[in-house]
Amino acid sequence: MSKDKLHTLRNKLHIEGHLLLLTCAFIVIAVFFGITTPRFFKPESIVSMAFQCPEIGLMALGMMSTMIIGGINLSINDTANLSALLSGIFLAKIVPSNIPANQMTMYIGGAMIIALLVGFVCGVLNGFLVGHIEVSPILATLATLILFRGISVAITGGKTLTGFPEQLSVIGHNTVLGIPIPFLILLVIAGLLYIILNRTTLGFKTRMMGTNPNASRFSGINNKAITMKIYIISGVLGAIAGIIVMSRTNSAAYEYGTRTYILLTLLIAVLGGVSPGFGNVAGVVLAVFILQMLSTGFHMLLMGVRGSAFFKDFSWGVLLILFLIIGYFMRGRKGSEQS
């Protein structure tokens, strides 16, 4: 197929160059591990990957939302942990353990609402600091990261909460038609976020603000209100991730994911092609799948080998560098064609 025909086909399918590149990388990695690791494509392996990726995927979508307006949310992982801890305290300390199963389901629903409200409040605080006080997004969310983590440690004494009702594990362990519930939640949230960013006035204003904040302000867009709404969305997505983690592990802790998840969400967002004013939900979701495949594939391929975790981190870094280099040349070529 000629380059002109490929370009025409890509335009007809409305496929961005970066998304096409991610799709090719996804296929190559899947084929590589499918050949080198016979267990990679077994149903249990695929289901296991589908259980593992939703929590980081939701946080990455939350990070993406803030990066599109030129911001960042370094506190999204601690938002998830704080949301899980406060809802977990409600379930473990307040709800009686000897109530009927149908009533317990109602209490679990109440705990989910508590988690979402916590995520909402965390988003409001971040949005207020960034949008109204005009604190640098990095400094504002770094400050709230420390604040949320401090609150989490204070209310738990640094201990892990356990002993939640058995019904809570339905979210993190059950499937629907063989598809893990957390994975379905990720797909639904990704679909909703796609609609918000690409089919609503809020999405248009968000991209306008990210592309040129001054131009958007002079065109009548309320940048402060947009910032507040986007950080609220990010906080709620973090809370949903916290619910999934709590359900999957049957525990809640202030330190869950604090060593790696922020870096991972940033890696996924950059790998997915997110930048101020630009970002594709499908690209971020594909980036999540790619990193999960690399993690699972190298774990299977090098099981029992000392330092095998190095290859996972190494492959993530190499992949990101390759995409940055390819993106640089793609932008240069596009600029030369336009001139």
- What does the DSSP 8-state code read for residue 200? S
Nearest Cα to Cα of residue 76 among 162, 160, 166, 137 = 137
Q: Is residue 158 part of a domain?
A: yes
pLDDT confidence of residue 4:
54
Q: 331 lies in a domain?
A: no
Among 151-155, 219-223, 229-233, 305-309, the range scoring the smallest mean pLDDT is 305-309
Based on the number of CB atoms within 10 Å of its own CB, is 282 exposed (0-12), middle (13-18) or buried (19 or more)? middle
Tens-place pLDDT, residues 73-131: 999 999 999 999 999 999 888 877 778 777 888 889 999 999 999 999 999 999 999 99
Residue 257 lies in a domain: yes
Distance CA(339)–CA(145), nearest Å, equals 45
DSSP bridge pairs for 252: 161
Q: What is the pLDDT of residues 13-59, one digit of tens each?
A: 345 778 888 999 899 999 998 998 888 889 999 999 999 999 999 99
CB-based contact 284:269 (threshold 8 Å): yes
Three-state secondary structure call for residue 171: helix
pLDDT at 297: 87
Examine residue 192 and state whether it is found in any structural domain, yes or no: yes
Residue at 46 is within a domain: no
Instruction: Reduce the DSSP state of residue 309 to 3 states and report it.
Output: helix
In a domain, 102, yes or no: yes
DSSP code per residue over 213-268: HHHHHHTT--HHHHHHHHHHHHHHHHHHHHHHHHHHHT-B-TTTTTTTHHHHHHHH
Q: Would you say residue 130 lies in a domain? A: yes
Cβ-based burial of 74 (10 A; exposed 0-12, middle 13-18, buried ≥19): buried
Q: What is the pTM of this model?
A: 0.90
> Domain for residue 244, yes or no?
yes
For the CA atoms of 140, 143, 149, 153, what is the dihedral angle to 10 degrees?
-150
Q: What band does 225 get if pLDDT is binned at 50, 70 and 90?
A: very high
Enter the DSSP assignment of 159: P
Q: Identify the helix (H) or strand (E) that includes residue 130.
A: none
The 3-state secondary structure of 31-70 reads: HHHHHHCHHHHCHHHHHHHHHHCHHHHHHHHHHHHHHHCC
Say if residues 234 and 123 touch (Cβ distance below 8 Å).
yes
How many Cα atoms sit within 13 Å of 294 on the Cβ side?
A: 22
For 158, the domain range is: 52-294
Report the domain count for the chain.
1
Q: For residue 121, how many other CB atoms are within 10 A of its CB?
A: 16
Q: How confident is the model at residue 338 (pLDDT cuts 50, 70, 90)?
A: low
Collect all residues with Cβ–Cβ distance below 8 Å to 304 and sequence separation of at least 6: none
Contact 92, 161 (CB under 8 A): yes
* Residue 278 three-state SS: strand
Which pLDDT tens digit goes with each residue over 124-179? 999 999 999 999 999 999 999 999 999 999 999 988 998 888 888 899 899 999 89
Average pLDDT value for the chain: 87
